[in-house]
Amino acid sequence: MTKFSDLNLDPKVLKAIEDAGYESPTPIQAGAIPPALLGQDVLGIAQTGTGKTASFTLPMITLLGKGRARARMPRSLVLCPTRELAAQVAENFDTYTKYHTKLTKALLIGGVSFKEQDRLIDKGVDVLIATPGRLLDHVERGKLLLTGVQVMVVDEADRMLDMGFIPDIERIFSLTPFTRQTLFFSATMAPEIERITNTFLSNPARIEVARQATSSENIEQVVMMFKASRKDREGTEKRKALRMLIDNEGEKCTNAIIFCNRKMDVDTVAKSLKKYGYDAAPIHGDLDQSQRTKTLDAFRDGSLRFLIASDVAARGLDVPAVSHVFNYDVPSHAEDYVHRIGRTGRAGRDGKAMMICVPRDEKNFDAIEKLIQKTVTRIDNPLAGKEDPAKDVQAVEAKPDHEEKPKRTRSRSRKSAPKEDVVVVVEAPAEAVEMKKEPAAPEVQKPAPKENRGRGGRGRGNDNKVVGLGDHLPGFIAMSFEERSEN
DNA sequence: AAAAAAG
């Protein structure tokens, strides 16, 4: 098997890789690093979670190791679709420039002050990591010249396309010298992406990560078919259903991302969970960047248990140990489902994805099953048979805010109360039996914060062996565009 | 139909 040490990387980069505890590159790394080091353009067709980031940061650091940056003229540029992803790439650079103390970088993202960014640009940076809007903002203010860019990376190009960034990307391409080296990554090759690569890449080495034979078997997937007793109670009852799903998982649910389709629902669900004593916080694009960063950091380091999120967190976010993903809403694009549940079961771990599906979402749900080519285990809504399911919901919700602390204990005690029996009735007998409420553990405590949450700690220190820098790739995600549209 | 990104 290939080792990093076979790849002609700068010894100082190799040392940093070793420190981070990695030996063997993932397929995308093994494929992309050699041509990148030779100065060739690279077209990488790979999803997040394949070790994609390091497949460009490692050769970039090696190439940039020689030479020095000039003021206002960065030598390389990485474009990312969201601020969080940009920040994640920046962290990746930090990890592997450990022994390149002279290499400088700047993170140019929106929502934060220009001041620090301007200062860094003026001093001269080797690596610029940016979201398109803020980057162009700097350019327009005459603070930044892209004529010195030797290496340009476009990450998550298909998501850029989804978000309408393609004109910006084209514009940024046109501001850089055409002699630059381009490393371009996309999960799929949509026609528009194909066009861009034909225009801006020259004779690229094309690396496509092998599709996994099976579809993310380490993620157990269930769906609760849910119908509110009355339309105006849907929100309340759905939130109750969510709490039941969470409580039923007990300690197996060490932490979770809960996805909603709308920002408003993200706020509502987060607020509701907090009220019920769950350790929860929201993240979406309307929140302050400082808030977003703080929340994500807390979730990463294990001090926040539930992250309630819009699709801003659906793709690419790398939190090594997320035990559960809850889809409070069925995503309206089947592909988003794949991205969302891909936040769990990472680095070879097991994960569980649970979704609530209301009647009007059934069409979207069908599309999801079609895409993943798999039947998702149904669980019934245990509230459905009740005479007045909303009654006890409202009784609790009407209560004043509860004390913060014994959330786990509380949910347990509620569960053990006869009135609140929340045994989940299971349709599919075989696999889903474990969904039934288990006898309460004698002593319930908050799950200990995980070790090895930090950078480079991915997949280490547990039983699961992880190869390379990357994580597990849910197999069906790697289907080509054509393959998917065939269905 | 909504989210994201520049304000």
**N-to-C CA span, chain A:** 36
Nearest residue to B1, CA vs C1'? Answer: A332
Bases in strand B with any atom closer than 7 Å to a protein CB = 1-7
Which range has highest mean pLDDT (A40-54, A122-136, A199-213)? A122-136
Least confident of A134-148, A197-211, A338-352: A338-352
Averaged over A137-153, what is the pLDDT? Answer: 94
Tokens linked to A312: 């801003």
Provide the CA A81 to C1' B5 distance, Å, integer: 8
Residue A353 has φ and ψ, to the nearest 5°, of -120, 125
Provide the CA A439 to C1' B3 distance, Å, integer: 41
Is the model more confident about A268 or about A387? Answer: A268
**Structure confidence at residue A122 (pLDDT):** 93
Q: Which nucleotide is nearest to A167 (CA to C1')?
A: B5
Query: Which 3-state string (H, E, C) describes chain A?
Result: CCCHHHCCCCHHHHHHHHHHCCCCCCHHHHHHHHHHHCCCCEEEECCCCCCHHHHHHHHHHHHHCCCCCECCECCEEEECCCHHHHHHHHHHHHHHCCCCCCCCEEEECCCCCHHHHHHHHHHCCCEEEECHHHHHHHHHCCCCCCCCCCEEEECCHHHHHHCCCHHHHHHHHHHCCCCCEEEEEECCCCHHHHHHHHHHCCCCEEEECCCCCCCCCCEEEEEEECCCCCHHHHHHHHHHHHHHHHHHHHHHCCCEEEECCCHHHHHHHHHHHHHCCCCEEEECCCCCHHHHHHHHHHHHCCCCCEEEECHHHCCCCCCCCCCEEEECCCCCCHHHHHHHHCCCCCCCCCEEEEEEECHHHHHHHHHHHHHHCCCCEEEECCCCCCCCHHHHHHHHHHCCCCCCCCHHHHHHHHHHCHHHCCCCCECCHHHHHHHCCCCCCCCCCCCCCCCCCCCCCCCCCCCCCCCCCCCCCCHHHHCCHHHHHCC
Give A208's strand partners: A45
Residues with CB under 7 A from strand B: A 81-84, 109-111, 130-137, 140, 162-165, 261-264, 284-286, 310-312, 332-333
Averaged over A40-53, what is the pLDDT? Answer: 88
Percent of chain A with pLDDT over 90: 61
Domain boundaries, chain A: 4-208, 219-454
What digits encode the pLDDT tens for the residues A241-289? 999 999 999 999 999 999 999 999 999 999 999 999 999 999 999 999 9
Nearest residue to B4, CA vs C1'? Answer: A163
Provide the CA A263 to C1' B2 distance, Å, integer: 9
Nearest residue to B6, CA vs C1'? Answer: A133
Pair A55, A349: CB distance under 8 Å = no
Nearest residue to B3, CA vs C1'? Answer: A311
**Structure confidence at residue A435 (pLDDT):** 34
For residue A69, pLDDT beyond 90: no
Cα separation, A181 vs A152, in Å, equals: 6
**Structure confidence at residue A210 (pLDDT):** 62
Split at pLDDT 50, 70, 90, the class of A372 is: confident
**Structure confidence at residue A216 (pLDDT):** 65
Q: CATH topology for A219-454?
A: Rossmann fold (3.40.50)
**Structure confidence at residue A50 (pLDDT):** 80
Cα separation, A138 vs A265, in Å, equals: 34
Provide the CA A21 to C1' B2 distance, Å, integer: 40
What mean pLDDT, rounded, does chain A reach?
Answer: 80
For residue A478, pLDDT beyond 60: no
**Structure confidence at residue A128 (pLDDT):** 96
Provide the CA A233 to C1' B5 distance, Å, integer: 35
With CA atoms as reference, report the closest residue to A153 among A200, A208, A95. A200
Is the model more confident about A385 or about A398? Answer: A385
**Structure confidence at residue A31 (pLDDT):** 95
Provide the CA A310 to C1' B1 distance, Å, integer: 14
**Structure confidence at residue A190 (pLDDT):** 87
Tokens linked to A207: 């690396």
Provide the CA A262 to C1' B1 distance, Å, integer: 9
For residue A353, pLDDT beyond 60: yes
Is CATH 3.40.50.300 what the domain over A4-208 is classified as, yes or no? Answer: yes
What digits encode the pLDDT tens for the residues A300-341? 999 999 999 999 888 777 887 899 999 999 999 888 898 899
Least confident of A110-124, A200-214, A219-233, A362-376: A200-214
Split at pLDDT 50, 70, 90, the class of A382 is: low
A 10 A CB-CB count for A449 gives: 13
What digits encode the pLDDT tens for the residues A155-194? 999 889 988 999 999 999 999 999 999 999 998 888 899 9
Cα–Cα separations (whole angstroms), residue A268 to A1, A232, A263, A369, A414: 50, 15, 9, 28, 22
What digits encode the pLDDT tens for the residues A403-416? 333 333 333 333 33
Judge whether A4-208 and A219-454 match in fold: yes
Split at pLDDT 50, 70, 90, the class of A466 is: very low
For residue A123, pLDDT beyond 70: yes
With CA atoms as reference, report the closest residue to A356 among A378, A377, A329. A329
**Structure confidence at residue A61 (pLDDT):** 96
